[in-house]
Structure 1
Amino acid sequence: MDSRSQAPYKSSSFSQATTRDDTARTREVDRNFSLGALRDKRDHHPPHHHHSREHHAIISEEDEQADQDAEATAGHGDGGAGEDRGDPDLAALSAEVDAFVAGQDNAVTVTEATLDKFASAVELLVARSEGSSDHKWASDGDPPALLAAIARIAALASALGKSPEAGGGKHTAAVHRVTGVLHRAMAFLEDEFHELLDDPYANHKASAGGEHEPDRCVLPGAAAPASSSETKEAALPYPPETVDRLRAMADAMIAAGYATECTQMFLVARRNAFDAALQGLGYEKSNIDDVVKMTWESLEAEVVTWTKAFRHAINVGLSTEHDLCTRVFAGAHAAVGRGIFADLARCVMLHMLSFTEAVAMTKRAAEKLFKVLDMYEAVRDASPVIEAFLSAADDEPSSALTELKSELASVRSRLSESAAAIFHELEGSIRADAGKQPVPGGAVHPLTRYVMNYLKYACEYNATLEQVFREHHRRGSHGDGGDGNPFSAQLMEVMELLHGNLEAKSRLYKDPSLSNIFLMNNGRYMLQKIRGSAEINAMLGEAWARKQSTNLRQYHKNYQRETWSRVLSMLRDDGVITVKGHVQKPVLKERFKQFNAAMDEIHRTQGAWVVSDEQLQSELRVSIAAVVVPAYRSFLGRFSQHLSAGRQTEKYVKLSAEDVETIIDELFDGNATSMVRRRT
């Protein structure tokens, strides 16, 4: 067999290879045949033989030799019709074929010669198109001539399969000939369909004078955000003329019984394009084992990428693919398009959703909460989109989309459970933080900073966490949680745990004054964080804030009582003045000595204590000075003259009222400085 006849046919029922004589004859036929109302004006021009693909070639000789062959065989017409030296009219042949296809019930027949000539003409159209890209899809407003011819021979093959004449062996050779041409046409159409899906601008670039446009066979928005002003047409991954060609090809393939091949090619091409778009966003497929083994730093970055890619897929990708399927598979084949879209959506989404399962399987830790919530929100927001696609279907709901909807609900439940469990990890970490070493200087404890910053960030997800805990309560034995916000209740529980933990830590200090400074520092930090966040303030409520303020005032009073009550007792008149009004100098001297020593001790110890909140630090200093400085100034004014001037005064009266005020102003700044060193 001549190698030129070995086209990629799909079955063994093809005709024998077209001979050189057949070639000459079909070339001659092609110069004059017409497809009637569907004919392409460009069929009047000689075919561009230099474009033909080698493995599909029918016309393989030089034009001069082919013309000689045509002259030599012009008298050898098909089926013994050698006397007819005029060129047959394809319009007439098409009319006979159409009449045969349409009139089978009325016993309309067709001759074997007509079948053979028509098959040869269609085969020639296919052969001419196999190497050409300029004119084969031209339509001038009508379906392209090539597709019209393919559709007609497909209908003819179907009709012959039902015809008693063909079944009786009368036209066996012609039937094989028609079937063979149909398979060749379908193989060619499959190649074209696949090429157009992979490179939608192939024909456009060939006719655009070499100007290159980037391949758009990807989801819009993968490289850059789509403009809100873009139309639906601009959002499609193919230009409108390519969509029209794809639709015409799909119609022809499905009508010829090649629906499976057509849908598989379309689904694979669009799945590859979808994956490429996700890769453009940085998303790479990974298996569960790889995810579970990742460090949290690496996994956190993967979650960010996944969330971005998943939202793109739901909000842009699926809508684009749905629109494309609707346009390519329209009319009688709309159900085919809906099936392709449903399979594509399920395939892509289920694989992406497997990532969430892997994340949920990793070790739970409080810092993972927010990324889990990001995934939860993305999955939650995807459900209405899938529901809308299900509702838009005119026929029975797609099992693929129904399965996807069910999986989304399942994944949402697992993420909700994981988020609730992670939040409970925070409570566990507070209970477990029972360190025996107090924080130096009574400063804000690291646990307080961590928990308050954590809660502040968590409250930015307050609506989502409310949903999470409602679902968590429904799954458990807590009912639906009533009308209250279950997350708010959970937040209050965390705050109570933290408060109890800090109370226990305050008892680690041996100095009661420092215990109160510690409680003031931490309580003030908590209150400032709450006041500084509208979300957490709203969640805890004003009553909680008032209670915290009351606690702070009590800590303040406790501190002043523990530290300064003893100092103020040294400045009272009791014991210094006798009943008769005389000043007892020994007692007076001892009072000055005690006061000096007390101030030096306070300055040395409490100067090293830390009050990082400037407002609290100022409030403490002002409140202390308001009590101590006037009392000392009064005591000094009443009794300093009772000491002998000179060395005796310098020995006992070491501080002026201004010195005392300075000492107070140097408290709580984290620097331990002795009063003696300060005065030297």
Structure 2
Amino acid sequence: MRGMHLTSSKGSSPTNSYAQSPMSTSSHHRTFSTSMMEEDLLYAEEIIKRWDLDSSFYTKLDYLFSGDRREARQFVKSVKSLQSAMHFFVSESASSEKIIHAQKLMQVAMKRLEKEFYRILSSNRDYLDSESISNRSSRARSSISEEDNASDEDDMNSSVSDSERVTVSDLAMGDLKSIADCMISSGYGKECVKIYKIIRKSIVDETLYNLGVEKYTFNQINKMDWETVEPKIKKWLHAEKVAIKSLFYGERILCDYVFSSSDKIREACFSDICKERATALFEFPELVAKSKKSMERMFRTLDLYNTISDQWPEIEMIFSFESMAIVRTQAVTSLVKLGDAVRSMLSDFETAIQKETLKTPIHGGGIHPLTRYVMNYLVFLSDYSISLSDILADWPLQVQSPLPESYFSSDNMDESSSISARFAWLVLVLLCKIDAGAELYKDVAQSYLFLVNNLNYVVSKVNSSNLRDLMGDNWLVKHGQKVKQYAGNYERMAWGKVISSLPENPIADSLTTEVARNSFRRFNLEFNEAYKKQSSWVISDTKIRDQIKISVAKKILPVYKMFYERYREVFQGADSVVRFAPDDLGNYLSDLFHGTGAPGSISTSSHSSSSSSSSLSRSH
């Protein structure tokens, strides 16, 4: 105790003004403690009055907490000494003059600290930004105010490097904590907190405004068309991440640090600064979820759900105070409403597929727009499988179908309520529509080609996306085999007559000239008919197209080549009998399945099918 007071008053001695002060007494019976407290009071008076804002000697440009902070530390120590002296004099029933004088000194000191606190907060806005604070949350700051940080910054607001920026921020935080601790312990915490709230709340408001965060009512959102709502959602998605990872997180760290001496104050302070804006931030997704729904809004709704769900641990941590329960509740409410909206839109999507009627066959037997739309939609949905698993967990699949569950189930699902069952069922609904579309073709071969194109498109989309994990390898194998089966059926129906028109063994068989002539004529007729009919047909997948071409060529060209070589000289010059050389046949087959045989067939196909999928029109 003695050592502390001797240190605090080292280098100071009673002045004449002190001897003449009304606080001095002529009593020769002072106790040792009284003497020491009076010395401390004298020391505090000397330091505090030097920084009295109302003093004629005070220079307006001077600040305690700038440059060399030794004077600042002495000032804080003097306040602590003054505080101790006041407690002592009150306990000793000392004269009211001493207590009144000490109280006046305390008011002078608090006025000075208020100004310093405001100046540090306002002039260091750029260095106390939430991003810098949150990025350095792991740094130990507890010793900042105690270290001898004798930095020589002439202008704390000047342009500084990253390392200097960290120093300025840490110094500012240490100064704020030192002042807050001193004012709170002196009974002036309310004045300190008022300044802090005003400045930091303005920073929060300004940051959210710059991020594009606005407050809306349900009627406002519900009346907006999607082209207006979607950009606002995009802004919100970015703003929410910045707000949680930087803004509110940084404010919580700064508030906890500056007011670490009082749990009650730091909670009240953080709550008053952030509660209203945080609640409004998390209200926006709920308004979107409750507004009018359409399938085109599905993915942005899931983005909103993902963002809150992914950030939930941080939200819970940042807003852990009991006074911030409303923020946590609002975030959970938005999650629930977003989940409800997703389930509703998914149900509408299934209903739309089931109601779709395929009335017009696709020219060339190509991929139907419904197939493209549904599969692209499901591929995008599969990217949200984690969120969908959570959303659909308590929404079991209700299938009203005569088909057994095994027909649409996958090897990855354990129960009908799983997300895998939901996706498998939606794909099955599409496949049923594809089967119905195949029946629109009068040519059986073309109907099989339509099945090849569309089922292969479905299988390819599943195989190349997250749908593979949901549908399972068994599903892929089973439906891949169906594609091959449909391709084989197409070949038999489209080229069977061409193949049967050729002799089984043109070399071994002894054919009369007339029989050979008739075989050539029949082959010419059948091949020409098959080629002419299929010249506008399409196989969209390059790999499948090549496989079918090779398969058809292997069935026709070797036999025809032997037949051609065997009877070429017999019918030399008879163009009406031998119309194709083997190489010509190969070239004709090579030209097939590009849809080039009928000018405008691709655009016509697109036009003729547009009306049948109007309710599911979406470009991907």
For Structure 1 versus Structure 2, the TM-score category normalised by the shorter chain is: 0.7 to 0.9
Closer/same/farther in 2, CA of residues 40 and 666 from structure 1, 3 Å limit: farther
Alignment length, in residue pairs?
543
Letter in 1 for 2:53: V
Residue 437 (structure 2) pairs with residue 514 (structure 1): no
Structure 2 distance, partners of 1:611, 1:219, is 58
Structure 1 distance, partners of 2:483, 2:523, is 28
Closer/same/farther in 2, CA of residues 528 and 148 from structure 1, 3 Å limit: same
Structure 2 distance, partners of 1:133, 1:40, is 28
Closer/same/farther in 2, CA of residues 515 and 140 from structure 1, 3 Å limit: closer
What is the aligned partner in structure 2 of residue 601 from structure 1? Answer: 529
What is the aligned partner in structure 2 of residue 546 from structure 1? Answer: 477
What is the aligned partner in structure 1 of residue 388 from structure 2? Answer: 465
Contact 1:143 1:248 in 2 (8 A): no
Shift of 1:559: 0.9
Structure 1 distance, partners of 2:106, 2:166, is 32
Contact 1:442 1:514 in 2 (8 A): yes
Q: Which has the higher contact order (CA 8 A, sep 6+)?
A: 2
Structure 1 distance, partners of 2:72, 2:511, is 126
Deviations 1:491-538 (A, max 9, x none): 1111111111111222222222111111111122222222223x3212
In the TM superposition, what are the counterparts of 1:68-467 in structure 2 within 5 Å?
86-88=16-18, 93=23, 125-128=52-55, 131-137=59-65, 144=73, 189-200=113-124, 215-220=126-131, 239-255=169-185, 257-278=187-208, 282-288=211-217, 291-331=221-261, 333-388=262-317, 398-467=321-390
Closer/same/farther in 2, CA of residues 95 and 347 from structure 1, 3 Å limit: farther
Residue 433 (structure 2) pairs with residue 501 (structure 1): yes
Closer/same/farther in 2, CA of residues 287 and 95 from structure 1, 3 Å limit: farther
Structure 2 distance, partners of 1:363, 1:453, is 23
In the TM superposition, what are the counterparts of 1:35-50 in structure 2 within 5 Å?
none
Closer/same/farther in 2, CA of residues 236 and 382 from structure 1, 3 Å limit: farther
What is the aligned partner in structure 2 of residue 613 from structure 1? Answer: 541
Deviations 1:365-406 (A, max 9, x none): 33433333332222123332244457xxxxxx7322333333
Q: Give TM-score scaled by structure 2 length.
A: 0.72
Contact 2:76 2:182 in 1 (8 A): yes
Structure 1 distance, partners of 2:24, 2:418, is 75
Letter in 1 for 2:54: A
Structure 2 distance, partners of 1:427, 1:300, is 23
Structure 2 distance, partners of 1:373, 1:544, is 27
Shift of 1:427: 2.3
Structure 2 distance, partners of 1:407, 1:431, is 36
Unaligned regions of 5+ residues in structure 2, if any?
Answer: 145-162, 398-412, 600-620
Contact 1:531 1:537 in 2 (8 A): yes
Closer/same/farther in 2, CA of residues 371 and 471 from structure 1, 3 Å limit: farther
Contact 2:260 2:266 in 1 (8 A): yes
Structure 1 distance, partners of 2:59, 2:314, is 44
**Matched residue of 2:178: which SS?**
helix
Letter in 2 for 1:516: Y
Contact 1:219 1:274 in 2 (8 A): no
Closer/same/farther in 2, CA of residues 378 and 343 from structure 1, 3 Å limit: farther
Shift of 1:132: 3.1
Contact 2:197 2:269 in 1 (8 A): yes
Structure 1 distance, partners of 2:288, 2:174, is 43
What is the aligned partner in structure 2 of residue 663 from structure 1? Answer: 588
Structure 2 distance, partners of 1:237, 1:460, is 44
Closer/same/farther in 2, CA of residues 187 and 520 from structure 1, 3 Å limit: same
Structure 2 distance, partners of 1:347, 1:508, is 61
Q: Give TM-score scaled by structure 1 length.
A: 0.67
Closer/same/farther in 2, CA of residues 666 and 194 from structure 1, 3 Å limit: same
Contact 1:513 1:562 in 2 (8 A): yes
Structure 2 distance, partners of 1:372, 1:553, is 39
Structure 1 distance, partners of 2:384, 2:492, is 43
Letter in 1 for 2:456: R
Letter in 2 for 1:347: E
Contact 1:416 1:468 in 2 (8 A): yes
What is the aligned partner in structure 1 of residue 499 from structure 2? Answer: 568
Shift of 1:449: 2.4
Identity of aligned residues (%): 23
Shift of 1:548: 0.9
Structure 1 distance, partners of 2:122, 2:275, is 22
Structure 2 distance, partners of 1:122, 1:658, is 110
Structure 2 distance, partners of 1:379, 1:304, is 14
Letter in 2 for 1:374: D
Deviations 1:316-363 (A, max 9, x none): 3344323222221123x2331133234444334212112212322343
Structure 2 distance, partners of 1:159, 1:348, is 46
Closer/same/farther in 2, CA of residues 95 and 152 from structure 1, 3 Å limit: farther
Closer/same/farther in 2, CA of residues 165 and 39 from structure 1, 3 Å limit: closer
Shift of 1:621: 0.9
Closer/same/farther in 2, CA of residues 604 and 373 from structure 1, 3 Å limit: same
Closer/same/farther in 2, CA of residues 381 and 89 from structure 1, 3 Å limit: farther
Contact 1:379 1:408 in 2 (8 A): yes
Residue 423 (structure 2) pairs with residue 491 (structure 1): yes
What is the aligned partner in structure 2 of residue 652 from structure 1? Answer: 577
Letter in 1 for 2:275: R
Closer/same/farther in 2, CA of residues 588 and 220 from structure 1, 3 Å limit: same
Structure 1 distance, partners of 2:10, 2:512, is 130
Structure 2 distance, partners of 1:566, 1:376, is 58
Closer/same/farther in 2, CA of residues 178 and 221 from structure 1, 3 Å limit: closer
Contact 1:603 1:666 in 2 (8 A): no
Structure 2 distance, partners of 1:544, 1:437, is 29
Deviations 1:411-469 (A, max 9, x none): 22222222333333432342343242322211222232233233333323322221222
Shift of 1:544: 0.6
Letter in 2 for 1:507: E
Structure 2 distance, partners of 1:415, 1:39, is 66
Unaligned regions of 5+ residues in structure 1, if any?
Answer: 1-34, 45-84, 202-214, 391-396, 475-480, 675-680
Closer/same/farther in 2, CA of residues 121 and 530 from structure 1, 3 Å limit: closer
Contact 2:52 2:109 in 1 (8 A): no
Shift of 1:293: 4.8
Structure 1 distance, partners of 2:553, 2:47, is 112
What is the aligned partner in structure 2 of residue 56 from structure 1? Answer: none
Closer/same/farther in 2, CA of residues 382 and 40 from structure 1, 3 Å limit: farther
**Matched residue of 1:310: which SS?**
helix
